[in-house]
Structure 1
Amino acid sequence: MNTSSAPRYTDLISSLPKEEGILEPYSYQYQGFWYSPVGMQGIIDCQQHFQAHKNDTFLVTSPKSGTTWLKAILFALINREAYHPQDPHHPLLNKTPHQLVPFLELLKPSDYDLFSNSSNRIFACHISSVSLPKSIMQEGKIVYLCRDIKDTFVSLFHFSNKANFRPSAISLEDAFNLFCKGVTLSGPIWDQILGYWKESLERPHKVLFMRYEEMMQEPHLQLRRLAKFLGKPFSQEEEKSGLPDQIIKLCSFDSMSKLEVNKTGTLVGAISNDSFFRSGVVGDWKNYLTAEMASKLDQITEKKFRDSGLSFTMLPSI
């Protein structure tokens, strides 16, 4: 945010609803969703200054829904002509997915120009559909990834205490209560998911709705679906050479978590890179949530998604 707009931002944030945050000390409600002060500043900046290009790809997620994994897949898929997945100097071997696919709301307006000459720009964000810059919906293609609500919560809880942004660690019970109230980064999570679900139904050529569990169970099918949506389907030659398998292997949790670049260093000088690779397991919530907690989240999900045509109870089990 530029210096001249700082007073206006200060006035705005002081007027917004404020609650304790799961990831940070406080969250603020902006345009119906909860964000950290830094994230909200970035959203306002990109609403005012970011201009999408025709060939842009945007990955949108709720935090801890498989963002890092799909960032890597998108980069490898879109740039496969420039960087073969078996290239020993592939960028994903010495840079993190977050360096190669930046979070839009963590960029400053002056950073946008760094990507202006690229013909295949890829950005990620946690921004709700109602708060996305209008040019993104008009020009770019959006890939939306969601995950089982219970696993998303458990992953967020662990990540929050690993990030250590709060003055003290948050308990599972306190984090759960805030999450159920919808007071979580880019939450309520149900409203964010529904927003992009509806966009995907209304504009299937612009918004692709994906699920983490389907990516895990059917990686080849989902990779081909993703490639086709982006207008970059695999050729017969690529299929015969095993290119889809090579991309999946390069971007797998097992491969990426072992790379030195993903085990050391920090994202934007704050969050350790290794905190983005905890387990990636489907159903890990069973190790942390009581039956009552799981039931409550399922009940909220069922109520929120009723009559939408979207059901998480029908997700594949692994």
Structure 2
Amino acid sequence: MKLMYALSVLLALLAVISPVFFASGKNNTEPEIAPTENSGEPVRETPYASPAGIDEGVPVCLISADSEQTLSMREYLVGVLAAEMPALFEAEALKAQAVAARTFTLYRMLCSEAHDGGKVCDDYSCCQARKTTEELQGIWGGEYEANMAKISAAVAATDGLCLTSGGKPILAAFHSSSAGSTEACGEIWGASLPYLISVPTFEGEQEVPNYVTEVALPFTQFKNTVFAAYPDAVFADEPSGWLSQAEYTSSGRVAAVRVGGVKITGTELRVLFGLRSTYVSWGETDSEIVFHVTGNGHGVGMSQYGANAMAKRGSSCGEILAHYYPGAELSDMTAAAGDGEHI
């Protein structure tokens, strides 16, 4: 009974909450930030986040490696936000990411497509990445206290807020960076959603580390990589024809291409050769196939570096979310108890 577990505490909270529209850009019931007790662990997971609020009362069952643990939404989100977005980002970008992560978590819990019983995992390719306190202390070192305070403040400032469409949680996809515009989900995932369309994004080479990358493969390695995945591939003598008949989405990403005569999707091309995105072109030298890649991630939904660029220009959390998820509403998650839209 996925809803009985995932939203058991929600049903005891506010029965009807009106949506908070994007124009406000703020959460007017921001909880006080204070340390919490967590007697079950030697190191507290979120020493700065508020012990009160909606997030604190929502259980999240987290699958990690071969174990399971139940955390509050607050505890869970602090670790997710720390893993998914750099702590040095602007406060409004961090708030936007906190809302997107909360929404994605709620969507996963309600849909239960990946895991039974409304559970989530810490694999970024399935659910969302998450870092523990011990991991973050090792990564951040002397910056741990300041970074954790900033991350926790973003979660606390957006307590209980999620994105909805028709009163249901949306599929709040996000990615690292895009080249000029994001991708419409229907162009790569097959089904269209009104709030996951292609929109302009504002990051570039000045803002994004490794915004443009190259992957070069010697001819033999290229062919062996393709043969391992597609044994029926056939390669002509001339390497210039090994990649052919490319098709592109409206945002300029590779939708499909023939590799050794085998038609594969842009996503399959990205996975096959370890490319950072499907916004890619290619050529050949005397000895190698060279891919030129821009951006990082699938390109759907909110661009994290784009969100940070907007925040630097003065955009609020609400304005960032309204841009990347057009038509969605910023709502209290106790009002979003129905299954989200499936893809």
Report if TM-score (shorter chain) is over 0.5. Answer: no
Normalised TM-score (structure 1): 0.29
- The normalised TM-score by structure 2 is 0.27
The structure richer in helix per residue is 1
Which has more strand, going by share of residues? Answer: 2
